[in-house]
């Protein structure tokens, strides 16, 4: 298993209190440092309305003496809660776990902290987070230690939490056909809230990494379908982002995929959201005929147009450019 290096950054944002009693997946970890700004003194005048760019609050979270990394942040649709996810280390025997925190969006007060560690107590790194349209559920995905055939590797691990309490609702894991590393990078929810889509890189049998996109029942975590994409170079293909059409009928996945003579190209794939059937694939090779790596996709809520962006090999004085491509959805 390739060892994951966790960057030595203390994640911004930490909370005031953790409610852990009797809630599955919610806990207060030992040695956690938290800090808040000073409270307003009793009887003091109300502060003036903050101006543009004024800091409203700052919260920190971390296990003392260890490395902690935040990777994604989302806000509930009503604007009342901020959700942050990432990875946290722990005292010996050291284990890196998912850590997900909910904050009051107005005050920064920590509402809950939930963690997830794989059954083998290996390393787990959360990479992406999504909130259901109703605001009732938070979904976290990433790479999680697993063992297949006696060999340790990473699997996808997607965890659903109650957004109000942090209680763990379900966990779904995915080990690809190559029994190697499988690392989820992005999660999205259908507009009706019924389906969760996860994508990332997954070891194939003879092709290196492939895109692997999975649909889950949002209520139960039951797997509905898996769709894989192996590019024309039959080598590494790494999905970085998943997005859903406004009507929920189509799922779009983008990332970077080995071409036949061009190194990595953007590769954007459209799937039928109900069945996982591939609808189309579009590739983009920049003018430098070098490495083109798409990192993010978004869909227009008005037109359904798909926008993909990332880095692309240029020509002349620019070695690496931004390249943003629009596709008819």
Percent of the chain at pLDDT > 90 equals: 73
Neighbours of 300 (CB within 10 A): 13
Quote the CA–CA distance of 293 and 323 in Å, as a whole number.
9
pLDDT, position 92: 65
Minimum mean pLDDT range among 18-22, 247-251, 292-296, 315-319: 18-22
27 pLDDT band (50/70/90 cuts)?
very low
93 pLDDT band (50/70/90 cuts)?
low
Angle subtended at Cα 2 by Cα 204 and Cα 224, rounded to the nearest 5 degrees: 40
159-194 residue pLDDT tens: 999 999 999 999 999 999 999 999 999 999 999 999
Mean pLDDT for the stretch of residues 107-117: 97
Beta-carbon contacts of 93 under 8 Å, excluding residues fewer than 6 positions away, are 121
Minimum mean pLDDT range among 34-38, 47-51, 296-300: 34-38
pLDDT, position 63: 77
As given in the structure block, the two tokens for residue 248 are: 């929920």
pLDDT at residue 90 is higher than 70:
yes
275 pLDDT band (50/70/90 cuts)?
very high
Mean pLDDT for the stretch of residues 131-151: 90
Minimum mean pLDDT range among 12-21, 88-97, 229-238: 12-21
pLDDT, position 207: 87
Spell out the domain ranges in the chain.
1-37+57-175
Average pLDDT, the chain: 87
Quote the CA–CA distance of 53 and 268 in Å, as a whole number.
36
pLDDT, position 23: 35
pLDDT, position 3: 37
Quote the CA–CA distance of 107 and 102 in Å, as a whole number.
12
Quote the CA–CA distance of 270 and 244 in Å, as a whole number.
10
pLDDT, position 44: 56
Determine the longest span between alpha carbons in the chain, in angstroms.
71
Phi first, then psi, for residue 278 (nearest 5°) are -75, 130
pLDDT at residue 293 is higher than 80:
yes
Quote the CA–CA distance of 29 and 7 in Å, as a whole number.
20
Quote the CA–CA distance of 85 and 164 in Å, as a whole number.
15
Beta-carbon contacts of 44 under 8 Å, excluding residues fewer than 6 positions away, are none
As given in the structure block, the two tokens for residue 64 are: 């003392």
292, 259 contact by CB (below 8 A)? no
Cis, peptide link before residue 93, omega less than 30° from 0: yes
Mean pLDDT for the stretch of residues 122-126: 93
Quote the CA–CA distance of 209 and 201 in Å, as a whole number.
6
* Helix, strand, coil percent values for the chain (each to nearest 5): 0, 50, 50
* More reliable by pLDDT, 37 or 248: 248
pLDDT, position 18: 31
Tell me the sheet residues that pair with 320.
Answer: 313
Mean pLDDT for the stretch of residues 298-318: 92
64 pLDDT band (50/70/90 cuts)?
confident
Mean pLDDT for the stretch of residues 318-329: 91
pTM, two decimals, is 0.85
């Amino acid at each position: 298993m390739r060892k994951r290096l966790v960057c030595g950054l203390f994640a911004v944002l930490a909370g005031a209190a953790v409610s852990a009693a009797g809630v599955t997946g919610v806990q207060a970890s030992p040695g956690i440092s938290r800090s808040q700004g000073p409270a307003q003194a009793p009887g003091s005048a109300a502060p003036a309305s903050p101006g543009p760019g004024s800091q409203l609050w700052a919260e920190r979270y971390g296990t003392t003496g260890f490395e902690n990394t935040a990777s994604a942040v989302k806000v509930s649709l009503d604007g009342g809660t901020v959700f942050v996810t990432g990875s946290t280390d722990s005292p010996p025997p050291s284990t890196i776990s998912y850590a997900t925190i909910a904050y009051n969006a107005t005050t920064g007060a920590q509402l809950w902290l939930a963690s997830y560690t794989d059954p083998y107590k290996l390393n787990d790194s959360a990479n992406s987070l999504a909130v259901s349209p109703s605001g009732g559920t938070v979904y976290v995905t990433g790479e999680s230690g697993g063992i297949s055939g006696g060999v340790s590797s990473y699997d996808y691990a997607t965890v659903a939490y109650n957004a109000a309490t942090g209680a763990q609702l379900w966990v779904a894991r995915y080990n690809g056909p190559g029994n190697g590393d499988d690392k989820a990078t992005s999660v999205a929810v259908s507009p009706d809230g019924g389906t969760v889509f996860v994508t990332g890189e997954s070891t194939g049998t003879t092709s290196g990494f492939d895109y692997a996109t999975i649909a889950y029942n949002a209520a139960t975590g039951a797997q509905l379908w898996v769709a894989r994409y192996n590019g024309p170079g039959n080598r590494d293909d790494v999905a970085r982002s998943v997005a859903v059409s406004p009507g929920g009928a189509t799922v779009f996945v983008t990332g970077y995929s080995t071409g036949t003579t061009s190194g990595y190209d953007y590769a954007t794939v459209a799937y039928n959201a109900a069945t996982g059937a591939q609808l189309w694939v579009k590739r983009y090779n920049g003018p430098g005929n070098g490495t083109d790596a798409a990192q993010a996709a978004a869909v227009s809520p008005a037109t359904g147009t798909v926008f993909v962006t990332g880095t692309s090999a240029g020509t002349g004085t620019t070695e690496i450019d931004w390249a943003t491509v629009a596709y008819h959805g």
